[in-house]
Structure 1
Amino acid sequence: MAGFELQRIALPTGVDLDVATAGDPAAPAIVLLHGFPESHRTWRHQIPALATRFFVIAPDQRGFARSSKPEGVEHYTTDKPVADLLALATHFGKDRFTLVGHDWGGAVAWMAALQHPNRIERLIIVNAPHPFVFQKSLFDDMDQRKASQYIRFFRDTSIDQGLTGAGLEKFFGSTFAKHLTRAVAGEDKAAYLDEWSQPGAMSAMLNWYRASAVQVPAMDETPNRPAFLDAPFPPITQPTLVIWGTQDKALLPVQLDGLDAVVPDLSVRKIDAGHFVTWEAPEEVSAAMLDWLD
Protein backbone atom coordinates (compact mmCIF):
# COMPACT_ATOMS: atom_id res chain seq x y z
CA MET A 1 0.00 0.00 0.00
CA ALA A 2 2.07 2.94 -1.23
CA GLY A 3 -0.09 5.55 -2.95
CA PHE A 4 2.53 8.25 -2.33
CA GLU A 5 5.96 9.46 -3.38
CA LEU A 6 8.85 9.54 -0.90
CA GLN A 7 11.41 12.29 -1.46
CA ARG A 8 14.36 13.74 0.43
CA ILE A 9 14.08 17.44 1.28
CA ALA A 10 16.83 19.62 2.73
CA LEU A 11 15.38 22.30 5.01
CA PRO A 12 16.94 25.62 6.05
CA THR A 13 16.55 24.44 9.67
CA GLY A 14 19.61 22.25 9.08
CA VAL A 15 17.96 18.83 8.68
CA ASP A 16 17.10 16.62 5.74
CA LEU A 17 13.73 14.90 5.99
CA ASP A 18 12.20 12.02 4.06
CA VAL A 19 8.75 13.25 3.08
CA ALA A 20 5.81 11.32 1.65
CA THR A 21 3.61 13.36 -0.69
CA ALA A 22 0.40 12.52 -2.54
CA GLY A 23 -2.35 14.32 -4.41
CA ASP A 24 -2.42 17.45 -6.56
CA PRO A 25 0.30 19.93 -5.51
CA ALA A 26 -2.08 22.74 -6.43
CA ALA A 27 -4.74 21.51 -4.00
CA PRO A 28 -5.05 22.81 -0.41
CA ALA A 29 -2.33 21.30 1.75
CA ILE A 30 -2.70 18.97 4.71
CA VAL A 31 0.40 18.10 6.74
CA LEU A 32 0.49 14.86 8.76
CA LEU A 33 2.92 14.60 11.69
CA HIS A 34 3.63 11.18 13.20
CA GLY A 35 4.77 10.44 16.74
CA PHE A 36 6.91 7.95 18.66
CA PRO A 37 8.14 5.44 17.61
CA GLU A 38 6.83 5.67 14.06
CA SER A 39 7.27 7.50 10.75
CA HIS A 40 5.13 8.66 7.83
CA ARG A 41 3.79 5.07 7.87
CA THR A 42 1.53 6.13 10.76
CA TRP A 43 -0.68 7.61 8.04
CA ARG A 44 -0.37 4.86 5.42
CA HIS A 45 -4.14 4.33 5.37
CA GLN A 46 -5.12 7.99 5.57
CA ILE A 47 -2.79 9.33 2.85
CA PRO A 48 -4.69 7.83 -0.12
CA ALA A 49 -8.05 8.89 1.32
CA LEU A 50 -6.95 12.47 1.96
CA ALA A 51 -5.11 12.77 -1.36
CA THR A 52 -8.42 12.74 -3.25
CA ARG A 53 -9.01 16.30 -1.99
CA PHE A 54 -5.72 17.58 -0.60
CA PHE A 55 -2.03 17.80 -1.32
CA VAL A 56 -0.75 15.51 1.44
CA ILE A 57 2.63 16.13 3.08
CA ALA A 58 3.77 13.51 5.62
CA PRO A 59 7.38 13.85 6.79
CA ASP A 60 9.54 11.51 8.80
CA GLN A 61 10.29 14.02 11.53
CA ARG A 62 13.83 14.78 12.70
CA GLY A 63 15.32 11.87 14.60
CA PHE A 64 13.05 9.25 13.03
CA ALA A 65 13.57 6.57 10.37
CA ARG A 66 16.14 7.87 7.83
CA SER A 67 15.65 11.60 8.41
CA SER A 68 18.50 13.61 9.96
CA LYS A 69 19.39 12.83 13.56
CA PRO A 70 21.34 15.75 14.98
CA GLU A 71 23.27 14.80 18.11
CA GLY A 72 22.30 16.42 21.37
CA VAL A 73 19.05 16.71 23.29
CA GLU A 74 18.88 20.44 22.55
CA HIS A 75 17.99 19.67 18.92
CA TYR A 76 14.68 18.08 19.93
CA THR A 77 12.96 20.82 21.93
CA THR A 78 9.51 21.43 20.46
CA ASP A 79 10.50 24.65 18.71
CA LYS A 80 12.84 22.69 16.43
CA PRO A 81 10.23 20.39 14.79
CA VAL A 82 7.82 23.35 14.68
CA ALA A 83 10.42 25.21 12.64
CA ASP A 84 10.87 22.12 10.43
CA LEU A 85 7.11 22.02 9.87
CA LEU A 86 6.85 25.65 8.78
CA ALA A 87 9.92 25.38 6.56
CA LEU A 88 8.50 22.24 4.94
CA ALA A 89 5.18 23.94 4.16
CA THR A 90 7.06 26.93 2.72
CA HIS A 91 9.15 24.58 0.58
CA PHE A 92 5.95 23.44 -1.11
CA GLY A 93 4.63 27.01 -1.41
CA LYS A 94 1.90 26.56 1.21
CA ASP A 95 1.36 29.64 3.38
CA ARG A 96 -1.67 28.14 5.17
CA PHE A 97 -2.55 24.50 5.66
CA THR A 98 -4.52 22.00 7.68
CA LEU A 99 -2.32 20.35 10.31
CA VAL A 100 -2.76 16.82 11.67
CA GLY A 101 -0.69 15.31 14.48
CA HIS A 102 -0.56 12.04 16.39
CA ASP A 103 1.34 11.49 19.66
CA TRP A 104 4.51 13.66 19.54
CA GLY A 105 3.33 14.96 16.18
CA GLY A 106 0.27 16.18 18.05
CA ALA A 107 2.48 18.01 20.55
CA VAL A 108 4.14 19.80 17.63
CA ALA A 109 0.72 20.53 16.12
CA TRP A 110 -0.67 22.04 19.34
CA MET A 111 2.40 24.27 19.67
CA ALA A 112 2.38 25.33 16.02
CA ALA A 113 -1.31 26.24 16.22
CA LEU A 114 -0.72 28.32 19.36
CA GLN A 115 2.36 30.12 18.08
CA HIS A 116 1.63 30.46 14.36
CA PRO A 117 -2.12 30.89 13.86
CA ASN A 118 -1.46 32.72 10.60
CA ARG A 119 -0.09 29.49 9.10
CA ILE A 120 -2.38 26.84 10.58
CA GLU A 121 -5.90 26.95 9.14
CA ARG A 122 -7.45 23.92 10.87
CA LEU A 123 -6.20 21.38 13.37
CA ILE A 124 -6.75 17.64 13.73
CA ILE A 125 -5.29 15.97 16.80
CA VAL A 126 -5.11 12.17 17.17
CA ASN A 127 -4.40 10.80 20.66
CA ALA A 128 -2.10 13.64 21.64
CA PRO A 129 -2.75 15.61 24.83
CA HIS A 130 -3.10 19.37 24.93
CA PRO A 131 -0.01 20.71 26.77
CA PHE A 132 -1.99 22.47 29.51
CA VAL A 133 -4.43 19.60 30.09
CA PHE A 134 -1.60 17.05 30.09
CA GLN A 135 0.61 18.86 32.55
CA LYS A 136 -2.36 19.53 34.83
CA SER A 137 -3.35 15.86 34.78
CA LEU A 138 0.17 14.82 35.78
CA PHE A 139 -0.26 16.81 38.99
CA ASP A 140 -3.97 16.28 39.66
CA ASP A 141 -4.80 12.79 38.36
CA MET A 142 -2.78 9.95 39.89
CA ASP A 143 -3.96 7.42 37.31
CA GLN A 144 -2.54 9.55 34.50
CA ARG A 145 0.65 10.12 36.49
CA LYS A 146 1.05 6.37 36.88
CA ALA A 147 0.37 5.77 33.18
CA SER A 148 3.07 8.33 32.30
CA GLN A 149 5.91 6.91 34.39
CA TYR A 150 7.37 5.40 31.22
CA ILE A 151 8.44 8.94 30.28
CA ARG A 152 10.76 9.01 33.29
CA PHE A 153 12.23 5.70 32.08
CA PHE A 154 12.70 7.01 28.52
CA ARG A 155 14.59 10.02 29.85
CA ASP A 156 17.28 7.75 31.29
CA THR A 157 20.08 7.86 28.72
CA SER A 158 21.62 4.64 30.05
CA ILE A 159 18.94 2.60 28.29
CA ASP A 160 20.17 3.61 24.82
CA GLN A 161 23.10 1.20 24.71
CA GLY A 162 20.73 -1.76 25.02
CA LEU A 163 18.48 -0.68 22.17
CA THR A 164 20.30 -2.40 19.33
CA GLY A 165 19.98 -5.82 17.73
CA ALA A 166 18.11 -8.16 20.04
CA GLY A 167 17.38 -5.18 22.28
CA LEU A 168 15.09 -3.78 19.59
CA GLU A 169 13.12 -7.04 19.52
CA LYS A 170 12.77 -6.80 23.30
CA PHE A 171 11.65 -3.16 23.03
CA PHE A 172 9.09 -4.17 20.42
CA GLY A 173 7.65 -6.94 22.55
CA SER A 174 7.84 -5.49 26.05
CA THR A 175 7.42 -1.73 25.59
CA PHE A 176 5.77 -1.03 22.24
CA ALA A 177 3.44 -4.02 21.95
CA LYS A 178 1.74 -3.39 25.30
CA HIS A 179 0.20 -0.24 23.81
CA LEU A 180 -1.32 -2.12 20.87
CA THR A 181 -4.82 -3.51 20.64
CA ARG A 182 -3.90 -5.77 17.72
CA ALA A 183 -0.84 -7.76 16.76
CA VAL A 184 1.83 -6.33 14.49
CA ALA A 185 3.82 -8.81 12.43
CA GLY A 186 5.25 -9.44 8.99
CA GLU A 187 5.89 -6.38 6.84
CA ASP A 188 4.73 -3.91 9.48
CA LYS A 189 6.99 -5.31 12.21
CA ALA A 190 9.91 -5.48 9.79
CA ALA A 191 9.38 -1.82 8.89
CA TYR A 192 9.49 -0.76 12.55
CA LEU A 193 12.66 -2.74 13.26
CA ASP A 194 14.30 -1.36 10.12
CA GLU A 195 13.53 2.25 11.09
CA TRP A 196 14.62 1.77 14.69
CA SER A 197 17.87 0.14 13.63
CA GLN A 198 19.07 3.15 11.65
CA PRO A 199 22.25 4.59 13.22
CA GLY A 200 21.35 6.82 16.16
CA ALA A 201 17.61 6.39 15.68
CA MET A 202 16.61 5.15 19.12
CA SER A 203 18.60 7.81 20.96
CA ALA A 204 17.25 10.52 18.65
CA MET A 205 13.64 9.39 19.10
CA LEU A 206 14.00 9.21 22.87
CA ASN A 207 15.58 12.66 22.88
CA TRP A 208 12.11 14.06 22.16
CA TYR A 209 11.14 12.96 25.67
CA ARG A 210 14.40 14.23 27.17
CA ALA A 211 14.03 17.67 25.58
CA SER A 212 10.44 18.12 26.71
CA ALA A 213 9.67 20.61 29.48
CA VAL A 214 6.75 18.49 30.72
CA GLN A 215 7.17 17.56 34.38
CA VAL A 216 6.37 13.93 35.23
CA PRO A 217 6.49 13.59 39.02
CA ALA A 218 7.32 10.24 40.58
CA MET A 219 4.42 8.47 42.22
CA ASP A 220 5.69 9.25 45.73
CA GLU A 221 6.68 12.83 44.92
CA THR A 222 4.88 16.03 45.90
CA PRO A 223 6.57 18.62 43.69
CA ASN A 224 5.95 22.33 43.51
CA ARG A 225 3.00 23.03 41.25
CA PRO A 226 3.84 25.06 38.09
CA ALA A 227 2.27 28.50 38.36
CA PHE A 228 0.88 28.42 34.81
CA LEU A 229 -1.53 25.63 35.77
CA ASP A 230 -3.53 28.09 37.86
CA ALA A 231 -3.46 30.96 35.38
CA PRO A 232 -5.36 31.62 32.13
CA PHE A 233 -3.96 29.65 29.20
CA PRO A 234 -4.06 30.97 25.60
CA PRO A 235 -6.86 29.33 23.60
CA ILE A 236 -6.46 27.47 20.33
CA THR A 237 -8.10 29.74 17.75
CA GLN A 238 -8.44 27.23 14.91
CA PRO A 239 -11.39 24.88 14.37
CA THR A 240 -10.11 21.65 15.94
CA LEU A 241 -11.06 18.00 15.63
CA VAL A 242 -9.77 15.62 18.28
CA ILE A 243 -9.90 11.92 17.37
CA TRP A 244 -9.37 9.72 20.40
CA GLY A 245 -8.78 5.99 20.62
CA THR A 246 -10.51 5.30 23.92
CA GLN A 247 -8.42 2.19 24.76
CA ASP A 248 -5.21 4.24 24.96
CA LYS A 249 -3.27 2.92 27.96
CA ALA A 250 -0.74 5.77 28.06
CA LEU A 251 -3.06 8.74 27.57
CA LEU A 252 -6.22 8.27 29.59
CA PRO A 253 -9.68 9.80 28.93
CA VAL A 254 -8.87 12.56 31.46
CA GLN A 255 -7.06 14.23 28.54
CA LEU A 256 -10.46 15.17 27.15
CA ASP A 257 -11.71 16.67 30.42
CA GLY A 258 -11.84 20.45 30.27
CA LEU A 259 -10.36 20.50 26.77
CA ASP A 260 -13.16 22.75 25.48
CA ALA A 261 -12.00 25.48 27.87
CA VAL A 262 -8.72 25.88 25.95
CA VAL A 263 -10.06 24.81 22.53
CA PRO A 264 -13.29 26.79 22.03
CA ASP A 265 -14.07 25.51 18.51
CA LEU A 266 -13.78 21.82 19.38
CA SER A 267 -15.19 18.62 17.92
CA VAL A 268 -14.37 15.24 19.48
CA ARG A 269 -14.67 11.84 17.81
CA LYS A 270 -14.11 8.82 20.05
CA ILE A 271 -13.12 5.51 18.46
CA ASP A 272 -12.93 2.10 20.10
CA ALA A 273 -9.22 1.51 19.55
CA GLY A 274 -5.88 2.02 21.24
CA HIS A 275 -3.19 4.68 21.03
CA PHE A 276 -2.24 3.78 17.46
CA VAL A 277 -5.76 4.36 16.22
CA THR A 278 -4.70 5.51 12.74
CA TRP A 279 -3.91 1.94 11.74
CA GLU A 280 -5.91 0.05 14.38
CA ALA A 281 -9.15 1.58 13.04
CA PRO A 282 -8.03 3.19 9.76
CA GLU A 283 -11.39 3.46 8.00
CA GLU A 284 -13.01 5.16 10.99
CA VAL A 285 -10.16 7.63 11.32
CA SER A 286 -10.19 8.53 7.63
CA ALA A 287 -13.97 8.91 7.63
CA ALA A 288 -13.87 11.10 10.74
CA MET A 289 -11.27 13.36 9.15
CA LEU A 290 -13.05 13.70 5.81
CA ASP A 291 -16.48 14.23 7.37
CA TRP A 292 -15.16 17.00 9.58
CA LEU A 293 -13.13 18.61 6.80
CA ASP A 294 -16.35 18.93 4.81
Structure 2
Amino acid sequence: MTATITTDQYAVLPNGTRLHYASAGKPGAPLLLFVHGFPEFWYEWEAALQEFGGDYYAVAPDLRGFNLSDMPAEPTAYKPKHIVDDLRLLIAHLGYPRCAMVAHDWGGAIAWNLAIALPQLLERLIIVNSPHPYLFMKALAEDPAQQEASAYMNWLRSPHSEEVLAKHDFAILERLLSGMGQSPTPWFAGEVRRKYHECWSRGLVGGVNYYRATPLHPPTAENPGPQGLVLNPDDFRVKVPTRVIWGERDVALLPSLLDGLGDFVPDLKVERIPEGSHWVVHEQPERVNALIRRFLQE
Protein backbone atom coordinates (compact mmCIF):
# COMPACT_ATOMS: atom_id res chain seq x y z
CA MET A 1 0.00 0.00 0.00
CA THR A 2 1.27 3.46 -0.91
CA ALA A 3 1.74 5.65 2.15
CA THR A 4 0.12 9.09 2.31
CA ILE A 5 2.49 12.08 2.31
CA THR A 6 1.89 15.03 4.63
CA THR A 7 3.59 18.15 3.26
CA ASP A 8 2.68 21.22 5.32
CA GLN A 9 5.07 20.78 8.25
CA TYR A 10 7.73 23.05 9.73
CA ALA A 11 10.42 22.74 12.37
CA VAL A 12 11.79 25.86 14.06
CA LEU A 13 15.20 24.72 15.25
CA PRO A 14 17.14 26.00 18.29
CA ASN A 15 19.70 27.60 15.96
CA GLY A 16 16.93 29.82 14.55
CA THR A 17 16.50 28.04 11.23
CA ARG A 18 12.99 27.19 10.06
CA LEU A 19 12.87 24.05 7.94
CA HIS A 20 9.93 22.79 5.94
CA TYR A 21 9.54 19.04 5.64
CA ALA A 22 7.26 16.37 4.21
CA SER A 23 6.68 13.00 5.81
CA ALA A 24 4.93 9.66 5.49
CA GLY A 25 4.31 7.11 8.20
CA LYS A 26 3.83 7.49 11.92
CA PRO A 27 6.16 9.19 14.39
CA GLY A 28 7.60 6.50 16.62
CA ALA A 29 8.42 4.15 13.78
CA PRO A 30 12.15 4.03 12.89
CA LEU A 31 13.22 7.38 11.44
CA LEU A 32 14.39 7.37 7.82
CA LEU A 33 15.60 10.78 6.68
CA PHE A 34 15.84 11.65 2.97
CA VAL A 35 18.07 14.58 1.97
CA HIS A 36 17.81 16.19 -1.48
CA GLY A 37 20.35 17.88 -3.73
CA PHE A 38 20.54 20.86 -6.11
CA PRO A 39 18.40 22.15 -7.77
CA GLU A 40 15.83 19.95 -6.09
CA PHE A 41 13.74 19.95 -2.92
CA TRP A 42 11.89 17.44 -0.75
CA TYR A 43 9.81 16.31 -3.75
CA GLU A 44 12.83 14.46 -5.15
CA TRP A 45 11.89 11.76 -2.64
CA GLU A 46 8.13 11.55 -3.28
CA ALA A 47 8.27 7.92 -4.45
CA ALA A 48 10.53 6.98 -1.54
CA LEU A 49 8.21 8.54 1.05
CA GLN A 50 5.29 6.63 -0.43
CA GLU A 51 7.31 3.41 -0.39
CA PHE A 52 8.81 3.61 3.08
CA GLY A 53 6.04 5.34 5.01
CA GLY A 54 4.48 1.97 5.75
CA ASP A 55 7.52 0.72 7.71
CA TYR A 56 9.30 3.89 8.79
CA TYR A 57 8.69 7.45 9.77
CA ALA A 58 10.00 8.71 6.44
CA VAL A 59 10.88 12.41 6.44
CA ALA A 60 12.22 14.60 3.62
CA PRO A 61 13.15 18.18 4.56
CA ASP A 62 13.78 21.13 2.32
CA LEU A 63 17.37 22.02 3.21
CA ARG A 64 17.99 25.62 4.22
CA GLY A 65 18.05 27.75 1.09
CA PHE A 66 15.52 25.62 -0.79
CA ASN A 67 11.81 25.87 -1.48
CA LEU A 68 9.85 26.58 1.73
CA SER A 69 12.73 26.52 4.21
CA ASP A 70 14.60 29.63 5.37
CA MET A 71 16.82 31.12 2.67
CA PRO A 72 19.61 33.27 4.16
CA ALA A 73 21.22 35.67 1.71
CA GLU A 74 24.82 35.35 2.92
CA PRO A 75 26.93 32.53 1.43
CA THR A 76 28.62 31.93 4.80
CA ALA A 77 25.28 30.63 6.12
CA TYR A 78 25.68 27.62 3.81
CA LYS A 79 28.95 26.22 5.08
CA PRO A 80 28.53 22.46 5.57
CA LYS A 81 28.84 22.74 9.36
CA HIS A 82 25.65 24.83 9.47
CA ILE A 83 23.67 22.40 7.32
CA VAL A 84 24.94 19.47 9.38
CA ASP A 85 23.72 21.31 12.47
CA ASP A 86 20.30 21.77 10.87
CA LEU A 87 20.00 18.02 10.32
CA ARG A 88 21.26 17.24 13.83
CA LEU A 89 18.65 19.53 15.32
CA LEU A 90 15.91 18.26 13.00
CA ILE A 91 16.51 14.66 14.13
CA ALA A 92 16.15 15.81 17.75
CA HIS A 93 13.09 17.94 16.91
CA LEU A 94 11.41 14.86 15.46
CA GLY A 95 12.01 13.08 18.77
CA TYR A 96 14.79 10.67 17.81
CA PRO A 97 18.35 10.09 19.03
CA ARG A 98 19.46 8.76 15.63
CA CYS A 99 18.19 7.71 12.21
CA ALA A 100 19.01 6.04 8.94
CA MET A 101 19.76 8.56 6.20
CA VAL A 102 19.44 8.50 2.41
CA ALA A 103 21.03 11.41 0.56
CA HIS A 104 21.77 12.57 -2.98
CA ASP A 105 24.04 15.22 -4.54
CA TRP A 106 24.47 18.18 -2.13
CA GLY A 107 22.38 16.28 0.40
CA GLY A 108 24.98 13.54 0.13
CA ALA A 109 27.81 16.00 0.68
CA ILE A 110 26.14 17.10 3.91
CA ALA A 111 25.42 13.50 4.90
CA TRP A 112 29.08 12.52 4.43
CA ASN A 113 30.08 15.41 6.69
CA LEU A 114 27.51 14.40 9.30
CA ALA A 115 28.64 10.77 9.24
CA ILE A 116 32.26 11.84 9.75
CA ALA A 117 31.57 14.37 12.51
CA LEU A 118 28.59 12.80 14.31
CA PRO A 119 28.49 9.06 13.57
CA GLN A 120 26.41 8.43 16.69
CA LEU A 121 23.43 10.04 14.92
CA LEU A 122 23.36 7.53 12.06
CA GLU A 123 22.42 3.87 12.08
CA ARG A 124 23.03 3.55 8.34
CA LEU A 125 23.99 5.86 5.52
CA ILE A 126 22.84 5.42 1.92
CA ILE A 127 24.42 7.76 -0.64
CA VAL A 128 23.25 8.34 -4.21
CA ASN A 129 25.73 9.98 -6.61
CA SER A 130 27.59 12.10 -4.12
CA PRO A 131 31.37 11.82 -3.63
CA HIS A 132 33.22 11.40 -0.37
CA PRO A 133 34.66 14.85 0.49
CA TYR A 134 38.32 13.82 0.65
CA LEU A 135 38.18 11.93 -2.65
CA PHE A 136 36.32 14.84 -4.27
CA MET A 137 38.93 17.27 -2.97
CA LYS A 138 41.73 15.14 -4.45
CA ALA A 139 39.96 14.80 -7.80
CA LEU A 140 39.28 18.54 -8.07
CA ALA A 141 42.93 19.27 -7.28
CA GLU A 142 44.55 16.62 -9.48
CA ASP A 143 42.19 15.03 -12.05
CA PRO A 144 41.73 17.05 -15.27
CA ALA A 145 38.64 15.03 -16.25
CA GLN A 146 36.84 15.80 -12.98
CA GLN A 147 38.00 19.42 -13.10
CA GLU A 148 36.38 19.74 -16.51
CA ALA A 149 33.22 17.91 -15.40
CA SER A 150 32.93 20.24 -12.38
CA ALA A 151 33.66 23.49 -14.24
CA TYR A 152 29.99 24.45 -13.86
CA MET A 153 30.63 24.90 -10.13
CA ASN A 154 32.77 27.95 -10.76
CA TRP A 155 30.06 29.45 -12.94
CA LEU A 156 27.48 28.90 -10.19
CA ARG A 157 29.84 30.60 -7.72
CA SER A 158 29.91 33.75 -9.83
CA PRO A 159 27.82 36.83 -8.93
CA HIS A 160 24.23 36.84 -10.13
CA SER A 161 24.25 33.23 -11.36
CA GLU A 162 20.85 32.76 -9.69
CA GLU A 163 19.44 35.52 -11.92
CA VAL A 164 20.74 33.82 -15.05
CA LEU A 165 19.30 30.48 -13.92
CA ALA A 166 15.87 32.09 -13.61
CA LYS A 167 15.87 33.63 -17.11
CA HIS A 168 13.66 32.37 -19.91
CA ASP A 169 11.43 30.39 -17.54
CA PHE A 170 14.37 28.55 -15.91
CA ALA A 171 15.71 27.32 -19.24
CA ILE A 172 19.16 26.38 -17.90
CA LEU A 173 17.71 24.42 -14.97
CA GLU A 174 15.31 22.70 -17.35
CA ARG A 175 18.24 21.51 -19.47
CA LEU A 176 20.04 20.38 -16.34
CA LEU A 177 17.18 18.18 -15.14
CA SER A 178 16.04 16.97 -18.55
CA GLY A 179 19.23 15.19 -19.47
CA MET A 180 22.20 17.16 -18.07
CA GLY A 181 23.53 17.61 -21.58
CA GLN A 182 22.53 14.13 -22.69
CA SER A 183 19.32 13.01 -24.35
CA PRO A 184 16.17 14.31 -22.62
CA THR A 185 14.49 12.07 -20.06
CA PRO A 186 10.72 11.68 -19.76
CA TRP A 187 10.42 12.09 -15.97
CA PHE A 188 10.79 15.89 -16.05
CA ALA A 189 7.42 16.82 -17.51
CA GLY A 190 3.85 17.63 -16.56
CA GLU A 191 3.15 17.85 -12.83
CA VAL A 192 6.79 17.23 -11.90
CA ARG A 193 7.92 20.14 -14.07
CA ARG A 194 5.22 22.37 -12.60
CA LYS A 195 6.26 21.58 -9.04
CA TYR A 196 9.91 22.31 -9.79
CA HIS A 197 9.04 25.64 -11.40
CA GLU A 198 6.98 26.50 -8.33
CA CYS A 199 9.95 25.68 -6.09
CA TRP A 200 12.46 27.64 -8.18
CA SER A 201 10.13 30.65 -8.25
CA ARG A 202 10.58 30.95 -4.48
CA GLY A 203 14.26 31.75 -4.96
CA LEU A 204 17.54 30.27 -6.17
CA VAL A 205 20.10 32.23 -4.15
CA GLY A 206 20.16 29.60 -1.42
CA GLY A 207 20.96 26.78 -3.79
CA VAL A 208 23.84 28.57 -5.52
CA ASN A 209 25.17 29.73 -2.15
CA TYR A 210 26.10 26.12 -1.40
CA TYR A 211 28.62 26.41 -4.24
CA ARG A 212 29.82 29.82 -3.05
CA ALA A 213 30.38 28.54 0.49
CA THR A 214 32.43 25.46 -0.35
CA PRO A 215 36.21 25.36 -0.91
CA LEU A 216 35.67 22.29 -3.08
CA HIS A 217 35.55 23.56 -6.65
CA PRO A 218 37.92 23.41 -9.63
CA PRO A 219 40.95 25.66 -9.18
CA THR A 220 41.15 28.92 -11.12
CA ALA A 221 43.84 31.56 -11.62
CA GLU A 222 42.16 33.65 -8.92
CA ASN A 223 41.25 30.88 -6.48
CA PRO A 224 43.28 27.70 -5.92
CA GLY A 225 40.29 25.94 -4.39
CA PRO A 226 41.26 22.47 -3.13
CA GLN A 227 44.86 22.95 -4.29
CA GLY A 228 45.30 25.21 -1.27
CA LEU A 229 43.94 22.68 1.22
CA VAL A 230 46.08 20.45 3.41
CA LEU A 231 43.87 17.78 4.93
CA ASN A 232 44.58 14.66 6.95
CA PRO A 233 42.82 11.66 5.38
CA ASP A 234 42.46 10.10 8.83
CA ASP A 235 40.02 12.89 9.69
CA PHE A 236 37.64 11.67 6.98
CA ARG A 237 37.01 8.08 8.06
CA VAL A 238 33.36 6.99 8.12
CA LYS A 239 32.41 4.59 10.90
CA VAL A 240 28.77 4.26 9.83
CA PRO A 241 27.67 1.26 7.71
CA THR A 242 27.43 2.85 4.26
CA ARG A 243 25.89 1.81 0.97
CA VAL A 244 26.36 3.76 -2.26
CA ILE A 245 24.14 3.80 -5.34
CA TRP A 246 25.85 5.33 -8.36
CA GLY A 247 24.43 6.10 -11.78
CA GLU A 248 27.50 5.69 -13.98
CA ARG A 249 26.28 8.02 -16.74
CA ASP A 250 26.66 10.98 -14.39
CA VAL A 251 28.52 13.60 -16.45
CA ALA A 252 29.18 15.94 -13.50
CA LEU A 253 30.35 13.43 -10.89
CA LEU A 254 32.41 10.80 -12.66
CA PRO A 255 32.44 7.13 -11.58
CA SER A 256 36.18 7.45 -10.88
CA LEU A 257 35.16 9.28 -7.69
CA LEU A 258 34.36 5.85 -6.25
CA ASP A 259 38.00 4.75 -6.56
CA GLY A 260 39.54 4.36 -3.12
CA LEU A 261 36.28 4.83 -1.24
CA GLY A 262 36.80 1.61 0.70
CA ASP A 263 39.91 3.13 2.27
CA PHE A 264 37.66 5.62 4.07
CA VAL A 265 34.58 3.47 4.71
CA PRO A 266 35.30 0.00 6.16
CA ASP A 267 31.66 -1.14 6.06
CA LEU A 268 30.87 -0.33 2.43
CA LYS A 269 28.94 -1.76 -0.49
CA VAL A 270 28.55 -0.04 -3.86
CA GLU A 271 25.76 -0.68 -6.37
CA ARG A 272 26.56 0.70 -9.82
CA ILE A 273 23.75 1.41 -12.29
CA PRO A 274 25.47 1.58 -15.70
CA GLU A 275 22.57 3.24 -17.53
CA GLY A 276 21.69 5.61 -14.68
CA SER A 277 22.53 9.32 -14.79
CA HIS A 278 22.95 11.80 -11.95
CA TRP A 279 19.13 11.78 -11.73
CA VAL A 280 18.80 8.02 -11.23
CA VAL A 281 16.43 8.61 -8.28
CA HIS A 282 13.92 10.03 -10.76
CA GLU A 283 14.73 7.72 -13.66
CA GLN A 284 14.42 4.44 -11.78
CA PRO A 285 12.54 5.11 -8.51
CA GLU A 286 11.38 1.51 -8.06
CA ARG A 287 14.90 0.15 -8.51
CA VAL A 288 16.41 2.74 -6.19
CA ASN A 289 13.73 2.06 -3.57
CA ALA A 290 14.39 -1.68 -3.80
CA LEU A 291 18.10 -1.10 -3.26
CA ILE A 292 17.42 1.17 -0.29
CA ARG A 293 15.15 -1.44 1.26
CA ARG A 294 17.73 -4.16 0.75
CA PHE A 295 20.44 -2.02 2.30
CA LEU A 296 18.27 -1.17 5.30
CA GLN A 297 17.65 -4.86 5.98
CA GLU A 298 21.26 -6.03 5.71
Q: TM-score scaled to structure 1, two decimals?
A: 0.92
Secondary structure of the 2:204 match is helix
Where does residue 146 of structure 1 map in the other structure?
148
For residue 125 of structure 2, give the secondary structure of its aligned residue in structure 1. Answer: strand
- Offset, 1:99: 1.3
The aligned residue for residue 170 of structure 2 is: 169
Match of 1:83 in 2: 85
Q: Which amino acid aligns with 1:187?
A: E
| DSSP 3-state at the match of 1:269 | strand
1:81 is displaced (CA, Å) by 1.2
1:136 equivalent to 2:138? Answer yes
Unaligned runs of 5+ in 2: none
Give 1:51 shift. Answer: 1.6
Q: Does 1:188 align with 2:195?
A: no
Give structure 1 stretches of 5+ with no counterpart: none
Match of 1:288 in 2: 291
The alignment's C-alpha RMSD in Å is 2.1
Distance in 2 separating the partners of 1:222 and 1:19: 37
The SS at the match of 1:56 is strand
Q: Residues 42 and 173 of structure 1: is their aligned pair in 2 closer, same or farther, counting only changes over 3 Å? A: closer
Instruction: Map Cα deviations across residues 105-164 of structure 1 (whole Å, 9 max, x no partner).
Output: 001100111111111111110111100011111122211110000000000013233343
Q: Percent identity?
A: 36
Q: CA deviation at 1:274?
A: 0.7
1:42 matched to which residue of 2? 44
Q: 8 Å contact 1:45–1:278 — kept in the other structure?
A: no
1:3 alignment counterpart: 4
| Pairs aligned (count) | 290
TM-score of the two chains, using structure 2 as the length reference: 0.91
Shift of 1:44: 1.0
**Relative to structure 2, which stretch is displaced further, 175-184 or 51-60?**
175-184
In structure 1, which of residues 250, 268, 276 is the aligned counterpart of residue 279 of structure 2?
Answer: 276
Query: Residues 60 and 156 (structure 1 numbering): CA distance in 2 closer, same or farther, change over 3 Å?
Result: same
Residue 222 to residue 197, structure 1, CA distance change in 2 (3 Å): closer
What per-residue deviation string (whole Å, max 9, x for no partner) do you get for residues 10-37 of structure 1? 1122121111111121111111110100
Q: Report the CA distance between 1:69 and its aligned residue.
A: 0.6
2:114 to 94, 112, 115: 112
